Amino acid sequence: MVTTTEYLILAAALFTIGVIGVLTRRNIIIIFMSIELILNAVNINLVAFSNYWQQFTGQIYALFVITVAAAEAAVGLGIIIALFRNKETVNADEIDLLKW
C-alpha cells in the first residue's frame, strides 16, 4: 500500500527536478518539458490528496490541469515555430535580441 506521504515525496521530487531543469537547461524544448514535469508533479499531488480526502475534486482539478497544459503546449510550440522561422535556433542563449 502506497501512502499519501510517499506520493507527496514523489511529487516534490518531480517538482524539484522540473524547477532545476528550467533554471539550468538552455534548450527551449527541454525547458518546456521541465515545465510539463512541474505540472505533472502538481497532478500527482492533486490525485494523492483527492484520495486522502476521499473526494473527487482533486481528480477533476487534475483533468483541468491536463487540458490547460495541452493548451499551453500548443501555444508554446506555436511560438517556438514562429521564432524558428525567423531565426533557426532552439537555444535560449542565442535568443538575445532583447536584453535577457
Partner 1 sequence: MPKNYIPILMFMALGCLFPLVTLALLRLIRPSDPHKAKLSPYECGVDPVYQPRERYTVRYYIVAILFVVFDVETVFLFPWAIRYDVLGLFGLMEMLVFLGILVVGFIWLWKQGALEWV
Partner 2 sequence: MFNQFFQVSDIVAIYPQLLLALFGLGVLIVDLFLDRPWKVLNAFTALLGIGYATYALFQIRRFNVSAYNGAIVNDSFAVYFQFVFLIATALVIFISARYLSIEGEHRGDYYALILFSLIGMNFMVMGMDIITLYIALELMAVSEYILVGYLRTNRQSNEASLKFFLLGAFSSGILLYGISLLYGISGSTDLRVIGQKLAERPANDPVTLVALVTLAAGLLFKVAGVPFHQWLPDAYEGAPSPITAFISVAPKAAAFALTLRFLFIALKPLQVNWVPMLSVICVLTMTVGNITAISQSNIKRLLAYSSIAHAGYLMLGMIAGNDYGITGIAIYFLVYMFMNIGAWTLVVAMRRKDLIGDQIQDMSGMFQKNPAAAVLMLIFMLSLAGIPPTAGFIGKYYLFASVIQTKHYVLAVIAVLNAAISLYYYFRVVVVMFMNDKVDEEKMVLSPGVLTTLAVTLAFTLIIGIYPDPFIRFAQNSLSLFQ
Binding site for partner 1 (CB under 8 A): 60, 63, 66-67, 70-71, 73-74, 77-78, 81, 84-85
Which is nearest to 44 in space by CA: 19, 70, 10?
A: 10
* CA 95 from centroid of its chain's CA atoms: 21
CB 45 within 8 A of CB 8: yes
The partner in contact with residue 66, picked from partner 1, partner 2, none with C-beta cut-offs of 5 to 8 angstroms by kind, is partner 1
Q: Confirm or reject binding of residue 26 to partner 2 (CB under 8 A).
A: no
Calpha distance 49→58 (Å, rounded):
7
CB 47 within 8 A of CB 58: yes
The partner in contact with residue 70, picked from partner 2, partner 1, none with C-beta cut-offs of 5 to 8 angstroms by kind, is partner 1
Calpha distance 90→96 (Å, rounded):
12
Query: Which residues of the shown chain bind partner 2 in the complex (CB under 8 A)?
Result: 8, 15, 18-19, 22, 28, 31-32, 35, 38-39, 41-42, 45-46, 48-49, 52-53, 55, 57-58, 60-61, 64-65, 68, 71-72, 75-76, 78-80, 82-83, 86-87, 92, 95, 97-100
